[in-house]
Amino acid sequence: MNLPVTDESTHFPGLARVAALLADPGRAAMLWTLMDGSARPAGELTMIAGLSPSAASGHLARLTDGGLLALDVRGRHRYYRIATPEVAAAIEALMNVAHVAAPQRPAPRPARTVPLEMRHARTCYDHMAGEVAVQVFERLVGSGLLVRDGDALEATPEGAARLADWGVDVAALRARRRRFACTCLDWSERRPHLGGALGAALLDSWTESGWIERTSRPRVLRITPKGQREFEALTGA
């Protein structure tokens, strides 16, 4: 019996095309490197992916044409970055899938193969992920500063006041086109951390306040002594 050929345009337009873009190891390496929210030149991405300049140029063109990367031109220099927060969220979600190597257990355990420094604190595109981020998220929800509705979150009046103490303007974030706040499943802890515009604003605030420092290692964050005290006070750890 001959089975009908499936026309992807009648089901999920572009799904197979995006999957094909992510399937190549070199392109995946480039995307993963950019998940710290940075913009990097083609030469740096070429070295990270271990490709020849000509091959890397072709891959970057495909990722840009496919809508996964955006190109920033600064004078004679060309920098590539993740195109949108939605693309970053999709890549993070796929990392969760990749870490489930066995059938789902009732209570998935954290991924112990992740380097400790990355497990402890890292960026997830433009917000914070890792053990500390998960603990902070649970405290914000558990203390009633944020309330959940599915994967969406909203700040209570008490939460808005506390966020203002951290320099976060809740009203301004709500006025943006981007989603205000949402859960993001942490691929190393297998529990949610805080994403969306609020997650990004908190990472910026805590960095400016000296709680967190970025390191030379892609995505890895360092909690400063001041940050250690503040996060311990916040989470009760």
Domain boundaries of the chain, sorted by first residue: 8-82, 85-235
The pTM of this model reads 0.71
The dihedral over CA atoms of 199, 145, 222, 187, expressed in degrees to the nearest 10, equals -60
pLDDT value of position 177: 82
State phi, psi for 158 to the nearest 5 degrees. -65, -40
Residue 156 CB neighbours (<10 A): 14
Q: Are 211 and 232 in contact (CB under 8 A)?
A: no
CATH tag for 8-82 (out of 3.30.1050.10, 1.10.10.10, 3.90.220.20, 3.30.450.40): 1.10.10.10
Give the strand pairing for 122-124 and 77-82: unpaired
pLDDT value of position 112: 52
Q: How far apart are CA 151 and CA 162, in angstroms?
A: 22
pLDDT value of position 107: 44
